[in-house]
Amino acid sequence: HGAVRREVSRQAGKGDLGARMIIDPEAVRDPYPHYEAMRSQGRMVRSALSWTTVDHEITTEVLRSPDFCVGMRMPENAPGLLKAALRAGGSWPLGPAEPPSLLSIDPPDHNRIRKLVTRSFSAKAITRLRGRTEEVATSLLDDMGAGGGTHRRADVVEQYASLLPATVIAEMLGAPLEMREDFLRWGEGGAYSLDMGLTYPMFRRSEKDIDALADWMDGHFDDLRRTPNDSILSSLVQAYDEEEGRLTHDELLSLALLLLAAGFETTVNLIGNGTRLLLTHPDQLERLRADPSLWPNAVDEILRFDSPVQRTGRVAARDTEVCGFPVKRGALVLTQLGGANRDPAVFTDPDRFDVGRENADRHVAFSQGIHYCLGAALAKMEGEVGLRALFDRYPDLRSDGPPELRGTRVLRGYRSLPVRLGEAR
């Protein structure tokens, strides 16, 4: 681990942009200038570890192509550093070896497992959850404003943006609400597992937190066997127990962990990043006040402009070609979602935050192809309900001191967003 990190550091020092994305602290604070540096080097840029791209068309094509894979079929002839990491046993280099979840499983297994949960996250199922999400938002806003006073300070992320999606996913999955604080804590360490090039203490914290969450989940499965209910987790446990071969224990566990973690760790950033953007662009907030029908589009624009998931990657399963670029079997291509979402070939004046942007929904913030975010409809609904309720309740909401970023690279968002609430409506 240390040797690989040193090598990435060395490459970054030599100006390798892919390596800098992995290791440079500036790229955490503000990745967007790095994407523009990459863009100026070409549509596909060679890096020590991989190919990397901020091109919208190439990103879309790679993510949709059956010639690329995520895990199990990853070929043994992968290049340099990736090979070393593969030999060490992990599917993704430089990060803790998580159990293979949907995100790192290829067809046909991917299809078999994803099928088990598609219905629960369909647009129809999510529409039914809207009313309950509004109730949760209202009650969290009540708590946040308790004590009154127009100068009351609060932290939008800690007291609201993290708790709203956490509550909704815990209720959907049938996970006990009193565990919410633990989930959030474990989820924070777990979120590091998506990043490459972690320092050793972060690596250890991440492993420990994932282990703790997995232990809790296994115990919870036993509870659900004794007392089944109509939750998603209970139906998965039943599917596992009833039909041998339908799901392995590892698949059951990692699917449950992914659903919980994705529910906890991503939408918080959509609401947090959105709050920050609207506070710093009062003209855009004004437009939403004047025309609330713009809200769904505004959520897409937030996802485009400051994407909660900044990158993903694929490995070529065979020699292939994307948009005329030959890619050798085994090559890793890092698709920089946050950079593709600023591609001027698709988005006019891409660095402008514009809630009325006509093609905002062409962003790739939820990826593309077979791994397209299962929770996209849920996240968009929560984002819209959450942001609207916040700005409706506190029309004078103001920033109150510098926000603090989480410090993760794949997931981009704030740990803390201090505000003054102002008068409640």
Binding residues (CB under 6 A) for ligand HEM: these are 63, 102-103, 114, 169, 258-259, 262-263, 266-267, 270, 308-309, 312, 365-367, 371, 373-375, 378-379
| Residue closer to ligand HEM (CB basis): 93 or 375 | 375
| Residue closer to ligand HEM (CB basis): 253 or 365 | 365
| Residue closer to ligand HEM (CB basis): 306 or 354 | 306
CB of 262 to ligand HEM, least distance (A): 3
332 forms beta bridges with 315
| Separation between Cα atoms, residue 264 and residue 260, nearest integer Å | 6
- Residue closest to 95 by CA, chosen among 192, 8, 25: 192
| Residue closer to ligand HEM (CB basis): 144 or 365 | 365
Cβ neighbours for 322, distance < 8 A, ≥ 6 positions apart: 44, 58, 61, 62, 65, 333
Three-state DSSP state, 354: coil
| Residue closer to ligand HEM (CB basis): 214 or 309 | 309
Over the range 225-239, which residues count as b (16 or more CB within 10 Å of their CB) and which as e? eeeeeebbbbbbbee
| Residue closer to ligand HEM (CB basis): 12 or 169 | 169
Exposed/middle/buried for residue 193 (C-beta within 10 Å: 0-12, 13-18, 19+): buried
CB of 353 to ligand HEM, least distance (A): 17
CB of 4 to ligand HEM, least distance (A): 21
> Which residue sits closest to ligand HEM, CB atoms considered?
375
CB of 64 to ligand HEM, least distance (A): 10
CB of 390 to ligand HEM, least distance (A): 16
CA-based radius of gyration for the chain: 21
- Residue closest to 62 by CA, chosen among 413, 380, 334: 334
Q: What CA–CA distances, in Å, run from 329 to 63, 168, 318?
A: 16, 41, 4
Q: According to DSSP H, which parts of 174-290 are helical?
A: 180-192, 200-226, 232-242, 249-265, 267-280, 282-290
Identity of the amino acid at 287: R
Parallel, antiparallel or unpaired: strands 312-316 and 332-335: antiparallel
- Residue closest to 38 by CA, chosen among 49, 29, 51, 28: 51
Parallel, antiparallel or unpaired: strands 68-69 and 312-316: antiparallel
CB of 335 to ligand HEM, least distance (A): 8
| Residue closer to ligand HEM (CB basis): 72 or 423 | 72
CB of 173 to ligand HEM, least distance (A): 8
| Residue closer to ligand HEM (CB basis): 121 or 240 | 121
| Residue closer to ligand HEM (CB basis): 27 or 260 | 260
CB of 423 to ligand HEM, least distance (A): 30
- Residue closest to 359 by CA, chosen among 347, 374, 377: 347
| Residue closer to ligand HEM (CB basis): 194 or 421 | 194
CB of 194 to ligand HEM, least distance (A): 9
CB of 372 to ligand HEM, least distance (A): 7
- The residue assigned the tokens 């990745």 is 31
